[in-house]
Amino acid sequence: MDKEWTSVIAILDDLDARYGEIERQISDPALATETAKLVALSKERGKIRPLVSKYRDYKKLVAGIDEARQILEDASADPDLRTMAEEEIEQLTARKDSLLEEIQNTLVMADEMHVDSVIMEIRAGTGGEEAALFARDLYEMYLRYAATRRWRVEQLDFSPSEKGGFREVIISVKGEGVWAELGYEGGGHRVQRVPETEAQGRVHTSAATVAVLPEPEEVDIQINPADVVEHVSRAGGPGGQNVNKVSSAIRLEHVPTGITVNMREEASQHKNRSKAWRILRSRVFELYESQRRAERESQRRTMIGSGDRSDKIRTYNFPQNRVTDHRIGLSLYNLDKIINGDMQELIAALREHDRQQRLKNLQTAQRAGAPSK
């Protein structure tokens, strides 16, 4: 069986060696004055510690099996001792195989588990005012789900429509496992229902788009301020006289990527600048991450994908009380509960499908002798 897991063991050996190197660097007194590097190393150590700990337990089991086999293969050994060794081999092998499978499951999902902050951007698509109302419904659905998970939500920016919907809303969601669960929401969402604005009771189809971006900390991505052009202007729209009189609106342009962020939510220029930088870091980070994922796409095609808003991922059919996730062909007839934030069953199905797909890709890479990460 060990041959089947050769590439996994190679990855774990590398992680174990890296963990030891990080421990060595952190214990170096000279690093005490380099705060940014110390923080980055501590974060990396925390990220890989669970896998390394399990792998070291695995190696102890392997060593125990080897010792028991030596006794079993020793013809001069006491018969009772050999019987005990045989039983120990059986027990330790079962624990070893179970632990290795657990390690593999953790390994293929490791990229998602350590991200505890995301930025969600929800925008109305085709459908006019009804699309804006649907964008508001999605926003409220995620707020309710976040409340059940005890995540913290912060509204960063929003643009209301005339009838109470959202043309656009941007929020930050923080909490354990947030990316592992909400990372599946990126893409095109479609709704089929009788709009509030429809007088004749006809079913309309409208759309909204969602982007989910891991929110990196400053130590995760360094953006050279010289690469960012800042424009300051007076903010328009609601907010009182101060909004229109003071130059508080901020527009950031990241020249190397062409990514721009506009922020006019706050009356304070300082607060708008801070929020704009958070969104800019997330968008630049996601762009670089998507490029990195594309480079290894042939080895690891994940179900989550890029979260491209052009990809239709889900349909919400109100007349039939049905939600259909097109990526996994799943239909659930409890739309009323899901739209009220009871998303556990839907997200669990997506996570399991993703896990199975990643395991399949990893095993394919193993058989081909190709690197898996």
Question: Residue 234: what pLDDT?
Answer: 73
Q: pLDDT value at position 47?
A: 81
Assess whether 23 and 77 both reside in one domain: yes
Structural domain contains residue 369: no
Integer Rg of the chain from CA: 26
Tokens, residue 82: 């050999």
Edge-first strand order for the sheet with 187-193 is: 152-160, 166-174, 117-124, 204-214, 187-193, 312-317, 322-325, 330-332
Check which CATH number belongs to the domain holding 137 and give it: 3.30.70.1660
Closest of 57, 137, 135 to residue 98, by C-alpha: 57
> Beta-carbon neighbour count of residue 49 at 10 Å?
13
Structural domain tally of the chain?
3
Q: So what's the pLDDT on residue 1?
A: 46
Q: Kindly state whether residues 120 and 260 are assigned to the same domain.
A: no
- Any domain includes 367: no
Is 235 in the same domain as 211? no
Do 19 and 166 belong together in one domain? Answer: no
Q: Which CATH number goes with the domain that contains 234?
A: 3.30.160.20
Whether 192 is in a domain gets the answer yes
Does the residue 248 lie in any domain?
A: yes
User: Which of these three, 108, 127, 160, is where a domain ends?
Assistant: 108
Domain shared by 211 and 234, yes or no:
no
Which pLDDT tens digit goes with each residue over 36-77?
788 888 888 888 888 899 999 999 999 999 999 998 888 888
End-to-end Cα separation, the chain, in angstroms: 21
Choose one of 57, 75, 108: the last residue of a domain. 108
Q: What pLDDT is attached to residue 302?
A: 44
Are 61 and 128 members of one domain?
no
pLDDT of residue 239: 46
- The verdict on 123 and 195 lying in the same domain is yes
Q: Which two tokens stand for residue 218?
A: 């400053």
The 3-state secondary structure of the chain reads CHHHHHHHHHHHHHHHHHHHHHHHHHCCHHHHHCHHHHHHHHHHHHHHHHHHHHHHHHHHHHHHHHHHHHHHCCCCCCHHHHHHHHHHHHHHHHHHHHHHHHHHHHHHCHHHHCCCEEEEEEEECCCHHHHHHHHHHHHHHHHHHHHHCCCEEEEEEEEECCCCCEEEEEEEEECCCHHHHHHHHCEEEEEEECCCCCCCCCCEEEEEEEEEEECCCCCCCCCCHHHEEEEEECCCCCCCHHHHHCCCEEEEEECCCCEEEEECCCCCHHHHHHHHHHHHHHHHHHHHHHHHHHHCCCCCCCCCCCCCCCCEEEEEECCCCEEEECCCCEEECCHHHHHCCCCHHHHHHHHHHHHHHHHHHHHHHHHHCCCCC
Domain that holds residue 20: 2-108
Is residue 356 domain-resident? yes
Low-confidence stretches of the chain (pLDDT < 70) are: 1-5, 7, 111-113, 197, 217-220, 235-246, 292-310, 363-373
